[in-house]
Amino acid sequence: RGAAEADADGMGLTDLPGELLELILCCDVLGAADIGRVSCTCRRLREACQPRGKVWRERFRLRWPSLLKYYSHTDSVSWLEEYKARHNAGLEAQRIVASFSKRFFSEHVPCDGFSDIETLGCPSHFFEDELMCILNMEGRKGLTWKYYAKKILYFLRQQNILKNLKEYLQRPTERQSFLEGAVLIDQYCNPLSDICLKSVQAQVDDITDKVRKVLRTKNPRHPSLASKAGEILIPEVELQRQVLDAMNCVLYEQLKYKGNELDYYNSLNSYIHQVLIRRTGIPISLSVLYLTIARQLGVKLEPVNFPSHFLLRWCQGKEGSTDIFDYTYIDAFGKGKQLTVKECEYLIGHHVTEEFYGVVTSKEVLQRMVGNLLNLGKRESTDQSYQLLRDSLDLYLAMYPDNVQHLMLQARLYFHLGIWPEKVLDILQHIQALDPSQHGAVGYLVQHTLEHIERRKEEVGPEVKHRSDEKHKEVCFSIGLIMKHKRYGYNCVIYGWDPACMMGHEWIRNMNVHSLPHGPHQPFYNVLVEDGSCRYAAQENLEYNSEPREIPHPDIGRYFSEFTGIHYLANTELEIRYPEDLELTRAAVQKIYSPGKE
């Protein structure tokens, strides 16, 4: 029967009151196609389902609830058109994500690999929302889609944050909030985390309110109690002292904030949202928090780029004084301790000139924060530290795009990682134009980068390894099996193998491979390890894992599409390279584990 057709009692859908009709049409069991068909039956239902009405708005809300934050209640929106636009953005996102594995399986996503995304014909927040839907898919399937959706989302958000950072740097100095700058750095290094200035500011405001409560018990008439955040500056030094005492009480006694002396070189200490969560940090991050709260309560503290230990200064004399002895220096890392000039020198163990006691701009504060992250990225040679190094270099060069030292470091990093050779050449050309004296280092890198590009052009496609080949008869394990290392005990999954060790003589010597009973003349396996590393393990050192479990490795989706609960299924690109391994993996699983467990 048609939607508008009457029932046996003469009452049809169109005879219902408008509110009841809307309630029925907003029911979550109806889909967009149902609403489309209903709206074609008669004028009454077409009006009930009009594009700007409640029915299509509810349909949009039910399908994509997180997107409603982009709309105001006062907006006149065609919800039907928004629904279509979001649906089409989803299809486009799925198409691009699906294409990435085929295009970039054998290499790092090149710098021009995201060009399709930069020219999207749909709102970016629709595209991002579909990527989040992919990432939030339940279960252990779709691993490859999730892997590339994460990479694309990482790129999109970083591009947007860089744009926000450049806009921030173009503002007048008085409109550059130290807290906002710290949030931008935090967001860029953690683009997949839910970090926003509004949320961070709300947490700082909550601390500020706690300080006001303490201040009220000490001085109910204090001027900072009667004003909104940052509206006034308190001129009297004694009233300022009362604010700082109340801050120290709340931050260090009540909330237990402290400098992280035990784990000083942890990058989390530099991220303001982590400082608020963990209540610990390094001198500069704690100083940004301390300064922000003080200014909201009417006390003007200023940042001091003191060597080895960032400080704040508090004027005790005439405002704007150039005499360093007119200031008290505050150590936010040391529980807000107030220091003299001499005590500042005791803090770092040596004398410094007056210039190091001067106030610095917000840009210089960000430069030091990024510099700290850069140094952390240089400390280790892991994928995580390389990513931190890349992110911090991006941030530094966004602030100082012509800094030759950091441009050279970026070119060398990309060269070392074997990624983006065309980008390396662009950077080197820029360095040569800025500083011709660098021609020696530039020439060396240009030569080797061009050689890398030529070698890549000569590649003829993926090497296919058939288990039926005679040279592969000694290979016992197959792609996707969960293994355990006999000596080191780590859990891992196999994503590649060679019939014998294919590493160079130096690696074989350094890894003491010749001490193994079968030396390098045995199968070796590429494995993803649960600690996030990638290793090359000898066959005699691996055994089946009696309790197989998921391997939490960031690159798992690059090679596998699904975890069955016992083993991983290779994705299409990996299966092309090892076409006979899937059946062998299934046979091994049946043999090793009890039937029906999979």
Same domain for 201 and 301, yes or no, is yes
3-state secondary structure of 325: helix
Residue 298 lies in a domain: yes
Residue 187 lies in a domain: no
Q: Which one of 331, 366, 401 terminates a domain?
A: 366
Per-residue confidence (pLDDT) for residue 106, from 0 to 100? 67
Residue 186 lies in a domain: no
Q: What is the dihedral of CA 270, 272, 277, 279, to 10 degrees?
A: 70
List C-alpha distances in Å: 387 to 190, 267, 372, 414.
Answer: 11, 12, 14, 11
pLDDT digits (tens, 9 = 90+) for 330-383: 999 999 999 999 999 999 999 899 999 999 999 999 999 999 999 999 987 777
Same domain for 214 and 356, yes or no, is yes
Q: Which one of 458, 493, 517 terminates a domain?
A: 458
Largest CA distance in the chain: 97
Per-residue confidence (pLDDT) for residue 25, from 0 to 100? 87
Task: Report the helix count and the strand count for the chain, using DSSP H and E.
Answer: 23, 13
Same domain for 213 and 351, yes or no, is yes
Same domain for 239 and 295, yes or no, is yes
Query: How far is Cα 461 from Cα 454, in angstroms, rounded to an integer?
Result: 15
Per-residue confidence (pLDDT) for residue 8, from 0 to 100? 47
Per-residue confidence (pLDDT) for residue 385, from 0 to 100? 86
Number of neighbouring beta carbons within 10 Å of residue 199 = 13
List C-alpha distances in Å: 545 to 34, 96, 354, 494, 588.
Answer: 50, 36, 63, 12, 12
Per-residue confidence (pLDDT) for residue 207, from 0 to 100? 97
Of 296, 294, 281, 285, the residue nearest 328 (C-alpha): 294
State how many domains the chain has. Answer: 5
Same domain for 30 and 89, yes or no, is no
Same domain for 154 and 217, yes or no, is no
Assess contact for 7 and 41: CB atoms under 8 A. no
Residue 472 lies in a domain: no
Low-confidence ranges of the chain (pLDDT < 50): 1-8, 597-598
Same domain for 145 and 206, yes or no, is no
Backbone angles phi, psi at 236, to 5 degrees: -75, 130
Same domain for 281 and 219, yes or no, is yes
Per-residue confidence (pLDDT) for residue 138, from 0 to 100? 86
Domain that holds residue 270: 197-366
Query: What's 410-476 look like in SS3?
Result: HHHHHHHHCCCHHHHHHHHHHHHHHCHHHHHHHHHHHHHHHHHHHHHHHCCCCCCCCCCCHHHCCCC
Residue 468 lies in a domain: no
Same domain for 96 and 117, yes or no, is yes
Task: Specify the amino acid at residue 503.
Answer: M
Per-residue confidence (pLDDT) for residue 597, from 0 to 100? 46
Same domain for 212 and 304, yes or no, is yes
Please report, in angstroms and rounded to a whole number, the separation of the first and last CA atoms in the chain. 47
Same domain for 445 and 527, yes or no, is no
Residue 586 lies in a domain: yes
Q: What is the CA radius of gyration of the chain?
A: 31
Same domain for 442 and 561, yes or no, is no
Q: Which one of 322, 346, 366 terminates a domain?
A: 366
Paired with 408 in beta bridges are none
Per-residue confidence (pLDDT) for residue 113, from 0 to 100? 64
Query: How far is Cα 459 from Cα 46, in angstroms, rounded to an integer?
Result: 59
| pTM (predicted TM-score) | 0.87
Residue 542 lies in a domain: yes
